[in-house]
């Protein structure tokens, strides 16, 4: 029975077709007993942002800017998943992580609200500075007249 691959839903408007997601498998590290060198359960998921046909130019630029530190030189986002012992669960985990990373990158940052320091806090800070200054002044060598 073949499983039908569906696209990856990131937002209501953005769905990445499965043809743009490249999935490879590899042997996962860690304990595994007798099956340790037989089963390729680790999943490597690649998504090429520069060549994606579903992204608008504006979305592509936002992703390239915000994910610049996570991308390869070719503009691919590469995720590894070896959390589980089954390949299918690792593939699902990698796809969910990819959706989360893309959603976070596409979400605009919250604007910072400018706040003012209360007058009492300012006066308290300046009063503490005056006290500190007088303590240090008292430590000095007396001036000769």
**Residue spans per domain, the chain:** 8-106
Measured CA to CA in angstroms, residue 30 lies from 19, 57, 83, 103 at distances of: 31, 41, 10, 31
Q: Are 18 and 53 in contact (CB under 8 A)?
A: no
- Candidate CATH numbers 3.30.360.10, 1.25.10.10, 1.10.8.350, 3.30.160.20; the one for domain 8-106: 3.30.160.20
Measured CA to CA in angstroms, residue 57 lies from 61, 98, 140 at distances of: 6, 20, 66
Q: What residues in the chain have per-residue pLDDT under 50?
A: 1-2
Q: Rounded to two decimals, what is the model's pTM?
A: 0.67
Measured CA to CA in angstroms, residue 115 lies from 36, 82, 111, 121, 126 at distances of: 57, 45, 12, 13, 19
Residue 111: the pLDDT is: 93
Residue 1: the pLDDT is: 46
């Amino acid at each position: 029975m073949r499983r039908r691959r569906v696209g990856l839903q990131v937002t209501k408007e953005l769905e990445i077709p499965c043809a743009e997601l490249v999935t490879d498998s590899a042997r996962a590290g860690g304990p595994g007993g007798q099956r340790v060198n037989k089963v390729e359960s680790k999943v490597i998921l690649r998504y090429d942002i520069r060549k994606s046909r579903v992204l608008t130019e504006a979305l592509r630029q936002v992703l390239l800017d915000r994910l610049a530190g996570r991308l390869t030189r070719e503009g691919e986002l590469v995720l590894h998943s070896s959390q589980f012992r089954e390949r299918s669960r690792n593939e699902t985990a990698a796809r969910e992580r990819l959706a989360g990373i893309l959603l976070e990158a596409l979400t605009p940052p919250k604007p910072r609200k400018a706040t003012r320091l209360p007058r009492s806090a300012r006066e308290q800070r300046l009063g503490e500075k005056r006290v500190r200054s007088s303590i240090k002044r008292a430590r000095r060598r007396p001036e000769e007249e």
